[in-house]
Structure 1
Amino acid sequence: MATWISEVVGFLLILFVLWRYVVPRLRAAMNKQQETIREQLVAAEEAKQRLKEAQEAYDNAVTEARVDAAKIRDDARADAQAIEEEMRAQAEREVERIRQRGEEQLALQRQQLARELRTMVGQQAAELAAQMVRSHLDDDANRGKTVDRFLDELDAMSAQSGKGER
């Protein structure tokens, strides 16, 4: 029994040493570890909340980007339509200007051709008249009649001018 008591005393002594020196250090280490785990849980919750907020911000940004892209696309379509209409109007003005220019040139060419035709007809008429006069005067009888008629006309003119002076 003395062994047993000495074993119990040794056991109690070990328990006292453990309780006095080892347990407080273990508790301190455990408390520190628990505090670290608590901080990590809080940090994880905050990170989860920030992730949720970031996901919402991302979703909002994507939605805004889609709306902005649709607006930009619609604006671009409207601008393209306006540019197309402007180009069409400009082309129509250019076509009208070219058509007017063509009409003006056509009128000028028509006038020029009319002048040239008049000149040619006049020249041909003069040549034909000269030819007719030459052929008429080539005949001696016709030449005499023409000279007699000319002299009669001169006499008639001098007779009229003599009456007018009196």
Structure 2
Amino acid sequence: MINTTELFLAAEGESQNPLLPQWYDIIWSLVAFAVVLFVFWKYVVPRYQKVLDERRETIEGGIERAEAAQAEANASLQAYREQLAGAREEAAQIREEARTQGTQIISDMKAQATTESDRIIANGAAQLAAQRQQVVSELRGDVGRLSVDLAEKLVAAELSDEAKQAGTVDRFLAELDDVADETAK
């Protein structure tokens, strides 16, 4: 059995630092590192770069599309505002035309009503004149007949007595009232 002390002494006899690896370890590590670096550089980095480029293009394309969509939305908003302003102006014109037409219609209706009123008044006046003429002719006939009746009564009665005269006048007035009542019916 080997003594630990002997191993320790044998290890101390060597002049190499235990923290530094052997030269063959360094070479094999460099070869492995170079192979891994070559594989990484040849296959992994291009794919990683491709993915990064695609993401950058996607992001930039998304930003460009968003800016284009924003510009289109602003243009649509502006067009909508212009249409709205045009519609408001058109509505104002329509309202003004309606007011003008309403005023014209009112004045036409007033003129028509005035004409109709004048026509009705003229017809009423003509009817009234015709009725007046008829009443006058009837009254003339009635007054003539009453005058004849009165003259007959006056001639038949004695005119010298005042009491008889008053009775004759009262009788005449009563007969006139009876005739007026009959014509009113």
Distance 1:32 1:48 in 2: 23
1:162 is matched with none
Q: How does 1:26-105 map to 2 (within 5 A)?
A: 26-105=48-127
CA RMSD between the two structures: 1.9
Identity of aligned residues (%): 38
2:175 is matched with none
Distance 1:64 1:135 in 2: 101
1:10 is matched with 32
Relative CO higher for 1 or 2, CA cutoff 8 Å, sep ≥ 6?
2
Aligned residues: 136
With the length of structure 1 as denominator, give the TM-score of the two structures: 0.73
In the TM superposition, what whole-angstrom CA distance separates every residue of 1:109-135 from its partner, at most 9, and x where no partner exists? 211110111110121123234445656
Matched residue SS, 2:59: helix
Q: Which runs of 5+ in 2 are unaligned?
A: 1-21, 159-185
Distance 1:103 1:5 in 2: 140
Q: Which moved more, 1:104-113 or 1:39-48?
A: 39-48
Distance 1:132 1:85 in 2: 66
Give 1:78 deviation, angstroms: 0.6
Distance 1:77 1:5 in 2: 103
Distance 1:79 1:132 in 2: 75
2:130 is matched with 108
In the TM superposition, what whole-angstrom CA distance separates every residue of 1:74-117 from its partner, at most 9, and x where no partner exists? 11111111111111111111221121122112211211110111
Residue 66 of structure 2 aligns with an amino acid whose one-letter code is A
Distance 2:50 2:147 in 1: 139
Larger Rg computed on CA atoms: 2
1:23 is matched with 45
Distance 1:91 1:24 in 2: 96
Q: Which runs of 5+ in 1 are unaligned?
A: 137-166
Q: Which moved more, 1:5-14 or 1:91-100?
A: 5-14
Q: How does 1:142-161 map to 2 (within 5 A)?
A: none
Residue 12 of structure 1 aligns with an amino acid whose one-letter code is A
In the TM superposition, what whole-angstrom CA distance separates every residue of 1:45-88 from its partner, at most 9, and x where no partner exists? 22122112112101211111111111111111111111111111
